[in-house]
Amino acid sequence: MRPCMIALSAVLAGLSLPAWAATDNHVSADELVAKNLEARGGAEALRAITSMHTLGKLRLGGGLEAKAESWMVAPDMARQDFSLQGMTQVNAWDGHQGWVIDPFQGRRDPQKLSGDDTKALAQAADIAGPLLDAQKKGERIEYLGTEDIDGTDAHKLRVTFKNGDSRVIYLDPDYFLEIRVVDHRNIRGQEQVQTTDLGEYEKVDGVYFPFEQGQNHIESAQLNTPIDTAMFAFPSSTPAKR
């Protein structure tokens, strides 16, 4: 399954060029972080997010698509459901324990996940992303210069997380929104690299989010709506099979 390459043209057409648009590469990591947060809606607006609920679809290739629905409660709960052909896969993280229900692999009962297998979910629970209040989270951010991404001379920031994993974030040089992220995770002693292209930004309650995220297309999103946190907890019992 090959990630989709998504352009920012749709959203950029409706935006005016920011006054602080860079004209050279002589910028620092702190400056780029500040510009990214401002472009997305401002640090205070991002800090005010308590939850997020999205609906969309996951493109599986060959014209096949699964219904995708996700819930996140800041700062550390996330759940992603994927439904196809009458079956639903559930991936959840309650801040301490991750679990999965995967009927596509013949596992209809909930199974607990190891710490390594929950890393992506745990990161998804950080709705505002790693660039907001990185120091408080124990993260380190470095500027790596620029790199050509499909004709765009993008700025590169590397975020190193407390657990030693890292994410390279590519920012559009004019609007400072993320156009690509590359995650490097240590999974059972082996590095796994995942590249996700981002685009089609839309404003949700004053904050911009990418509605195209690799193979995942978001159709609607809501912020700060009530979400029952019980849905993130490992099920205490499984209904009797009929």
pLDDT at residue 237 in the model: 57
Question: If you ran DSSP here, which 8-state letter would residue 95 be given?
Answer: S
pLDDT number for residue 61: 86
Residue 60 belongs to domain spanning: 51-127
Are residue 91 and residue 150 in the same domain, yes or no? no
* pTM recorded for the entire structure: 0.86
Report the pLDDT value the prediction gives residue 9, as an integer from 0 to 100.
36
pLDDT of residue 185: 97
52-64 b/e with 16+ CB inside 10 Å = b? bbbebbbbeeeee
CA 144, CA 186: separation in Å to the nearest integer? 21
Answer yes or no: is 225 within a domain. no
60 and 85 both lie in a single domain: yes
Mean pLDDT, 10 residues at a time, the chain of 242 residues: 35 38 66 98 98 97 94 96 96 96 93 93 94 96 97 97 97 98 96 97 98 97 97 75 40
- Same domain assignment for residues 55 and 120: yes
